[in-house]
């Protein structure tokens, strides 16, 4: 991808993904000329407010419950340093490097709009760290989602002043040492800068964006795995008929049915009309209705994130019109829109896992698949347990997802002496969405693993080899390239890891 020029208004999913998963020295990120001018204008406005001696929240006052504490001009810089140090109270595992790089890029883009009062020098240091691979160590937990992601963003900001910890060249070290190793110097924060760096929805936006992109890929993988299962159990495509979905025209349901028809094109493993078996179980027959509804949640999160990605989410904001400067306090840091979207998506991904696990059950239970397949996908049952416990693992992950699907957004806990009396828990929603997505990825991998075994067993029972669909053949082949047919019981963990690797490597083509 070409170098990325930030203007605060046109950052895309593709650009975030390319930077997140790219290497230092790859596409470089820089500020556009208009962004530079807007940043300089807002920073000059902050200086003008200080010269006038005006009272402005977070510039010449304390924060949160200390909003009524006036800070002298001599102490405004210490105030900004103190907010960064005192707010760096995150706990838990650190975000991985791709997530951290997404955080850095999204934060820089937000600040590039020129409403936050950040200085050009500070913003350019963020971009230099990103381009050279100085990655702040940011703990996952500690954000309430209003006033934004304060605690984790403080860890990000600490590195800019030479504090905290960072990763550079694959090694973790003190933040100041990482800057020095990269040939960079820390900044001394001026008025408003500490608040601008720590206030906003950047953490939840970054995590949610990466998870939404992966969720979209997994929705496609779910369609293919479901079709491979349908072929393995001699299912029918009748329920995917275009006419059925045209009379209940939910867009993603229609899209999913069309996708299933495409995936199964050319298949010789499905059954035609059978007067004694006219329809399949819901987990096969209702794939368009269930998978389509889950795709709605992905589409909603994508739509919302495209807005949030180019929004200004800190507080207060600085508006400059000629000589008129207004500092206005609001609530753009509140993560409620994101929290609701991520909870919705977590529920949807849990459902994709639930229906996949039920298809695994159908593959392994010979009564459920009308004895098309042997019990637990082994020809010598009893002596061999076959794939019996693979279904257990899928069931365990689905149960975990049901716990994680409880919405974080319906919870709130007052903070800052009840000044910040309603919070979104948006970062919590994003982090548990990540756990749900990982579980779904594994469940779909288990379905593909089982379905490939089932296809081979069914092929053995047919008079001649039958073709798979043009969309299921690549998934079957990818599994078989890593995992052989399992004739007798053997160590299964390595095979499961290989199937998960197939699922992780699955990526849809096209834009987001």
**Separation CA 330–CA 314 (nearest Å):** 9
Joined tokens for residue 399: 């149960």
Residue 148's DSSP bridge partners are 200
Assign 3-class secondary structure to 467-494.
CCCCCHHHHHHHHHHHCCCCCCCCCCHH
**Separation CA 356–CA 388 (nearest Å):** 15
- How far is residue 412 from each of residues 31, 134, 144, 336, 339, measured CA to CA in Å? 37, 34, 8, 11, 11
Among 21, 57, 282, 491, the active-site one is: 57
Residue 134's DSSP bridge partners are none
> Using only C-alpha atoms, what is the Rg of the chain?
27
**Separation CA 341–CA 309 (nearest Å):** 14
Helix, coil or strand: residue 270: coil
**Separation CA 168–CA 174 (nearest Å):** 10
Contact 466, 268 (CB under 8 A): yes
Torsion angles phi and psi, residue 318, rounded to 5 = -110, 120
**Separation CA 240–CA 328 (nearest Å):** 54
Residue 316, preceding peptide bond in cis (omega within 30° of 0): yes
Torsion angles phi and psi, residue 350, rounded to 5 = -60, -40
Helix, coil or strand: residue 59: coil
For the beta carbon of residue 265, count every other beta carbon within 10 angstroms.
12
- How far is residue 204 from each of residues 1, 7, 187, 332, 427, measured CA to CA in Å? 25, 21, 26, 14, 5
Contact 57, 327 (CB under 8 A): yes
Torsion angles phi and psi, residue 200, rounded to 5 = 150, 180
CA triple 102-296-291, angle to 5 deg: 110
Instruction: Tell me which residue of 128, 201, 202 sits closest to 159, measured CA to CA.
Output: 128
Instruction: Provide the CB-side half-sphere exposure for 187 (13 A, CA).
Output: 23
Joined tokens for residue 166: 């960072």
Residue 57 a catalytic site member:
yes
* Residues belonging to the active site: 57
């Amino acid at each position: 991808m070409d170098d990325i020029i930030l203007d605060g208004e046109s950052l895309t999913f593709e650009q975030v993904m390319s930077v997140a998963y790219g290497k230092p020295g790859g596409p470089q990120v820089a500020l556009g000329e208009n962004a530079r001018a807007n940043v300089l204008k807002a920073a000059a406005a902050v200086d003008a407010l200080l010269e006038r001696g005006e009272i402005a929240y977070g510039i010449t006052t304390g924060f949160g419950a200390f909003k009524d504490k006036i800070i002298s001009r001599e102490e405004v810089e210490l105030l900004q340093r103190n907010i960064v140090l005192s707010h760096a109270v995150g706990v838990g595992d650190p975000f991985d490097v791709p997530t951290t790089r997404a955080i850095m890029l999204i934060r820089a883009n937000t600040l590039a709009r020129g409403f936050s009062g950040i200085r050009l020098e500070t913003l350019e240091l963020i971009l230099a760290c990103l381009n050279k691979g100085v990655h702040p160590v940011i703990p996952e937990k500690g954000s309430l989602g209003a006033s934004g992601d304060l605690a984790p963003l403080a860890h990000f900001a600490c590195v800019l002043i030479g504090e905290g910890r960072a990763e550079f060249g694959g090694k973790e070290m003190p933040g100041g040492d990482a800057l020095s190793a990269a040939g960079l110097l820390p900044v001394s924060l001026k008025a408003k800068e500490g608040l601008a760096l720590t206030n906003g929805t950047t953490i939840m936006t970054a995590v949610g964006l990466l998870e939404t992109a992966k969720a979209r890929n997994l929705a496609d993988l779910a369609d293919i795995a479901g079709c491979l299962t349908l072929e393995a159990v001699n299912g029918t495509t009748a329920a995917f008929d275009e006419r059925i979905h045209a009379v209940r025209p939910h867009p993603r349901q229609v899209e999913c049915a069309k996708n299933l028809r495409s995936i199964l094109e050319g298949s010789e493993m499905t059954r035609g009309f059978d007067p004694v078996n006219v329809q399949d179980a819901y987990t096969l027959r209702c794939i368009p209705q269930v998978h389509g509804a889950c795709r709605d949640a992905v589409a909603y999160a994508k739509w919302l994130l495209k807005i949030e990605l180019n929004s200004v989410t800190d507080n207060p904001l600085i508006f400059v019109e000629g000589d008129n400067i207004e500092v206005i306090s609001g609530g753009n840091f509140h993560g409620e829109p994101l929290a609701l979207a991520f909870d919705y998506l977590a529920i949807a991904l849990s459902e994709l896992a639930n229906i996949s696990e039920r298809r695994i059950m159908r593959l392994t239970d010979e009564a459920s698949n009308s004895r098309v397949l042997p019990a637990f996908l082994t020809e010598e049952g009893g002596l061999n347990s076959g794939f019996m416990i693979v279904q257990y693992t899928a069931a365990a992950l689905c149960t975990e997802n049901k716990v994680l699907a409880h919405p974080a957004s319906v919870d709130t806990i007052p903070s800052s002496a009840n000044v910040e009396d309603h919070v979104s828990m948006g970062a919590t929603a994003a982090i548990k969405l990540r756990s749900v997505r990982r579980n779904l990825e594994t469940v779909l991998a288990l379905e593909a693993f089982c379905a490939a075994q089932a296809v081979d067993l069914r092929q053995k029972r047919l008079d001649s080899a039958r073709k798979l669909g043009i969309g299921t053949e690549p998934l079957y082949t990818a599994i078989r390239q890593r995992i052989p047919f399992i004739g007798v019981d053997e160590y299964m963990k390595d095979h499961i890891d290989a199937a998960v690797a197939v699922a992780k490597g699955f990526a849809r083509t096209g834009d987001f």
